[in-house]
């Protein structure tokens, strides 16, 4: 139940504090270092960090690094960097499940000693088969009733490396008839002779998630262990493990803490995929340029596209947390990004598709400089930049129509338009090449219409962006769009990759941008007036060869 505009998790946290069940709240974000973080992880980070911050508690960053084969230190480093960038303060200490392997091992011996765990030497297939089905209870394998001594001996020899992968597993002895399949003697340990990025070759047995995770939480004093809905059935194993862990800690004279697991809906966004396995496939098959491809829902990709941490956090707060899985309209993300960039991105002029305009009555060889505001009136920021103007400018091809449709307020033969911050020009002549392609417009300007002065009777409906040919900077512009054409790319029978959007990246090799941006730091953000929000690419942009990424359009233009 929700109260005071709080989501159901914050409500139960508040209840726990009020009832004195905890003195203070401790949450955690527990990624496995086997890939890069995506926006779904951001939802979890913002939720866990937010609850700790709001209640004056603590937020831990912990690597759930119990799988030697898939994990890597490069992933771990990127995750730490990303969590910091998102602004989730984890207090400087990074926790590692791998640092608890010894405690987990001792607890396993404790369980064996009390007849609560046994070494099963069946094959994977035999274990699976004996577990039964939803309608049929499980059966014991031939090893369920091994003596404590035999179990202890085998388990110690498993640790010592005497057996190959798969020879034995350690299982909890819980309930083979449980209606919850996960309680039918879950696996606690398996043998893996593999190098671990943190513990090296010290271990050749590794704990499984359902066993390791509650112990990690209990060791760190986590109070509320938040995970996604598909772990609902795992909660019973979580509680079983924590209950016995508490006995174990007490037996050793310690004061155990009691974490509880709660589940919330995972984020699924339209027009993208989120699972690490699928993202990895896109990267490995070269369908995107890497983990930080601006089209991916990875945080590295969104960051490179120009999205700020504030916008991501605002999005996560806007969508909230709920108890049922729904897909989120990607328009909400775009809204959060625009809302953030509106007051953050100065306005500059860039022409994506340049068409040369010669202003025939402008004094030859002359130029002048306007002092143009960087911000519109409704954004409370100050500042301006020099904007040079000369007798040859570029406008966008789309802003000229030889045969203008009704309601076209831009330039057409004989028509007038205002050049933003400059003058009103009239199109006197259209110059074409032999193939009939328009290559130049010859126009005249009215000096009395200089921006700021407002002579009578000069009303023009349209204002367009332009760049002085002599002063402008050629640049590359990358127009990013949705990665998939289907709202749910994974729905339906076919291969999800068939739904990739062939136009998700359109590269414009020679756009023209005004010179004021020349020396800005890589990653600087702008609104190119009338075009969209952009940022310079942190990897590829150089002062003499600028590259800009489109972060988001000015409004929703998606029509497919």
Rg of the chain on CA atoms, in Å: 31
Angstrom distance (rounded) from CA 420 to CA 77: 46
Q: Using CB under 6 A, which of the segments 27-35, 306-314, 354-362, 419-427 binds ligand ATP?
A: 27-35
Q: Which residue in 266, 332, 450, 497 binds ligand ATP (CB under 6 A)?
A: 266
Query: Which whole-number Å values give the CA distances from 21 to 48, 67, 224, 560, in the listed order?
Result: 19, 34, 11, 52
Nearer to ligand ATP, 246 or 275 (CB): 275
Selecting among 10, 173, 276, 525, the annotated active-site residue is: 276
Side-chain half-sphere exposure of 169, counting CA atoms within 13 A: 22
Q: State yes or no: residue 274 binds ligand ATP (CB under 6 A).
A: yes
Q: Which helix (H) or strand (E) holds 302?
A: helix 299-305
Buried b (16+ CB within 10 A) or exposed e, 174-198: bebeeeeebbbbbbbbbbbeeebbb
Nearer to ligand ATP, 24 or 326 (CB): 326
Q: State yes or no: residue 43 binds ligand ATP (CB under 6 A).
A: yes
Known binding site for L-glutamine: residues? Answer: 64, 209
Angstrom distance (rounded) from CA 305 to CA 505: 12
Residues 65 and 197 sit within 8 Å (Cβ to Cβ): yes
Q: Using CB under 6 A, which of the segments 162-170, 200-208, 269-277, 296-304 binds ligand ATP?
A: 269-277
Angstrom distance (rounded) from CA 243 to CA 504: 51
Q: Which residue in 103, 199, 228, 358 binds ligand ATP (CB under 6 A)?
A: 228
Q: Using CB under 6 A, which of the segments 25-33, 49-57, 91-99, 235-243 binds ligand ATP?
A: 25-33
Q: State yes or no: residue 275 binds ligand ATP (CB under 6 A).
A: yes
Token output for 525: 């953000």
Q: Is 32 a catalytic residue?
A: yes
Nearer to ligand ATP, 45 or 547 (CB): 45
Known binding site for ATP: residues? Answer: 32-34, 38-44, 228, 266-267, 274-276
Helices 309-319 and 330-342 pack at an angle, to 10 degrees, of 130
Q: Which residue in 32, 340, 399, 514 binds ligand ATP (CB under 6 A)?
A: 32
Q: Which residue in 30, 297, 346, 515 binds ligand ATP (CB under 6 A)?
A: 30
Q: Using CB under 6 A, which of the segments 35-43, 170-178, 337-345, 409-417 binds ligand ATP?
A: 35-43
Nearer to ligand ATP, 232 or 446 (CB): 232
Q: State yes or no: residue 31 binds ligand ATP (CB under 6 A).
A: yes
Nearer to ligand ATP, 226 or 417 (CB): 226
Distance of alpha carbon 236 from its chain centroid, rounded? Answer: 31
Q: Which helix (H) or strand (E) holds 112?
A: helix 101-113
Nearest-approach distance from CB 35 to ligand ATP, in angstroms: 6
Selecting among 159, 266, 385, 442, the annotated active-site residue is: 266
User: How many residues of this chain interact with ligand ATP, rule: CB under 6 A?
Assistant: 15
Distance of alpha carbon 299 from its chain centroid, rounded? Answer: 3
Q: Is 366 a catalytic residue?
A: no
Q: Which residue in 22, 40, 75, 155 binds ligand ATP (CB under 6 A)?
A: 40
Please state whether 335 falls in left (phi above 0), alpha (psi between -120 and 50) or beta.
alpha
Distance of alpha carbon 285 from its chain centroid, rounded? Answer: 20
Angstrom distance (rounded) from CA 346 to CA 330: 25
Contacting residues toward ligand ATP, per CB under 6 A: 30-32, 40-41, 43-44, 64, 227-228, 266-267, 274-276
Q: Which residues carry out catalysis?
A: 32, 266, 276
């Amino acid at each position: 139940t929700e109260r005071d505009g709080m989501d159901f998790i914050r409500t139960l946290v508040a209840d726990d504090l009020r009832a004195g069940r905890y003195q203070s709240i401790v949450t955690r974000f527990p990624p496995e270092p086997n890939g890069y973080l995506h926006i779904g992880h951001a939802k979890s980070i913002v939720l866990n960090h937010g609850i700790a911050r709001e209640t004056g508690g603590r937020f831990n960053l912990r690597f759930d690094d119990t799988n030697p084969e898939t994990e890597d230190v490069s992933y771990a480093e990127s995750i730490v960097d990303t969590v910091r960038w998102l602004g989730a303060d984890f207090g400087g200490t990074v926790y590692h499940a791998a640092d608890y392997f010894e405690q987990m091992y001792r607890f396993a011996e404790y369980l064996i000693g009390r007849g609560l765990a046994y070494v099963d030497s069946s094959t994977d297939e035999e274990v699976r088969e004996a577990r039964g089905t939803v309608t049929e209870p499980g059966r014991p394998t031939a090893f369920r009733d091994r003596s404590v001594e035999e179990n202890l001996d085998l388990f110690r020899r498993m640790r010592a490396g005497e057996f190959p992968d798969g020879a034995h597993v350690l299982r909890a002895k819980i309930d083979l008839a449980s209606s919850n399949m996960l309680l039918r003697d879950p696996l606690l340990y398996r043998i893996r002779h593999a190098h671990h990025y943190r513990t090296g070759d010290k271990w050749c047995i590794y704990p499984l998630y359902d066993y390791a995770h509650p112990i990690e939480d209990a060791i760190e004093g986590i109070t509320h262990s938040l995970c996604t809905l598909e772990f609902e059935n795992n909660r019973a194993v979580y509680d079983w493990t924590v209950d016995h862990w508490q006995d174990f800690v007490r037996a050793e004279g310690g004061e155990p803490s009691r974490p509880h697991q709660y589940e919330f809906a995972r984020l699924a966004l339209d027009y993208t995929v989120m699972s690490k396995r699928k993202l990895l496939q896109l990267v490995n098959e070269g369908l995107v340029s890497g983990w930080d491809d601006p089209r991916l829902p990875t945080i590295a990709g969104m960051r490179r596209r120009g999205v700020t941490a504030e916008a991501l956090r605002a999005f996560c707060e806007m969508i909230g947390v709920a108890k049922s899985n729904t897909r989120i309209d990607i328009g909400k993300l775009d809204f959060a990004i625009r809302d953030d960039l509106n007051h953050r991105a100065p306005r500059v002029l860039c022409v994506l598709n340049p068409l040369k305009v010669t202003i025939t009555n402008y004094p030859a060889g002359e130029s002048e400089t306007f002092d143009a505001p960087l911000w519109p009136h409704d954004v409370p920021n100050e500042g301006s930049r020099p904007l040079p103007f000369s007798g040859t400018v570029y406008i966008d091809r789309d802003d000229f129509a030889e045969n203008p449709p009704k309601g076209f307020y831009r330039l057409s033969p004989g028509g007038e338009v205002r050049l933003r911050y400059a003058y009103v020009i009239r199109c006197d002549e259209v110059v074409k090449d032999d193939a009939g392609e328009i290559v130049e417009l010859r126009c005249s300007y009215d000096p009395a219409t200089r921006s700021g002065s407002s002579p009578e009777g000069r009303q023009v409906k349209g204002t367009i962006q332009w760049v002085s040919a002599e002063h402008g900077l050629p640049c590359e512009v990358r127009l990013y769009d949705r990665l998939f054409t289907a709202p749910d790319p994974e729905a339906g029978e076919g291969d999800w990759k068939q739904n990739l959007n062939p136009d998700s990246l359109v590269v414009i090799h020679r756009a023209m941008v005004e010179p004021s941006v020349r020396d800005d730091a890589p990653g600087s953000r702008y609104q190119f007036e009338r075009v969209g929000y952009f940022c310079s690419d942190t990897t590829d942009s150089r002062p003499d060869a600028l590259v800009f990424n489109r972060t988001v359009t000015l409004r929703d233009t998606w029509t497919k």
